[in-house]
Structure 1
């Protein structure tokens, strides 16, 4: 019988209705996890929960604005009440703003930082007591290749994703002997709704694809598989690392 890599574990996923979030939730369910899926988009969230439940997995859906400490406290209380445990936290919720330094509006900057950077910190802060109680927990924070290299644009997004990278590292050191591993995932060009409009605008030229050595965009399920690796015991000696899923984009 095939081993289920998340059998008996409880996982909380933010941004679950996005392309990577949905792929991750469905993969985790197939691997035996009990799920808490969250998002601000309530209708798609309920639809996702129904699909997962129909396949026999145990799932709770909860609205969550990751930039709100109150929302986080409510969700963690729901996790504690329903499952009494939390073993995996996947911080996937994120937004993007494309202008560079001079053209970025202050309100846009504040919102991107609030969701991508502050939201990741609030999630770890709220979930850490349950994760530490697990004794064998994993946190996967979503950064980006734009948290590793510059692009000349997307000033707020790049700042937030660079911060997630180092926040993950310092948390990994802080909790290395307390039963919690913390790593970051860095997707490249992935066919998700967040960037599909840009790929469509680029048309046949698609410079972002041409810069990727594998000459294609990645799929959401390919990123989900990387997240699964970090969530399960296959990565038991991996913490403070950056798992880059970019088809070689940052290799040159």
Structure 2
């Protein structure tokens, strides 16, 4: 029997980094022009959250739920499975996460007021990072922008944006369950990228740690308790 202690994480990666990043290039080309629409929708949700619109949480969670379904079916099932045999088994988890977000969206009515707590500002910042800054990482790490990962099309920014939006909601059983999958995926992605010796591994790792920490902050920051009709 093989000595499992002799194996390293990179021994389980059955594809080259070049093949991995090429997937996103092909994925983006196949789904164009969905990218501008996704960025426009992300900008709209961010603007609603900054303006204190009660609809920001519900619309944002519904949008992200659609994104989890799209990533599960179009990326994991149709594309990532071509180089990673585990991908088809991840797809049902992404579909289940979409259901959780839709359930959370039914009660995600934010208070009609501007952001005033660190937890809320941190959530919006994480959401905006997932939509607008994470897609620019190829330029940072010397890859073409055609390999950009966009929320709603790729798993990492979808998970990161979800973490951010959940930080706008009060802590509860449903929001806690909804938090688990994106945190877990960010850690899995960080481990995969680290095994490929990719510096970008720090991005999902930091997002998981920051998102979980911000979500866990107590629901205070201005000395006053919320009285808005928020339930999750």
> Under a length normalisation based on structure 1, what TM-score does the superposition of the two structures give?
0.27
User: 1 or 2, which has the higher helix percentage?
Assistant: 2
User: 1 or 2, which has the higher strand percentage?
Assistant: 1
Q: Which has the higher contact order (CA 8 A, sep 6+)?
A: 2
> Under a length normalisation based on structure 2, what TM-score does the superposition of the two structures give?
0.29
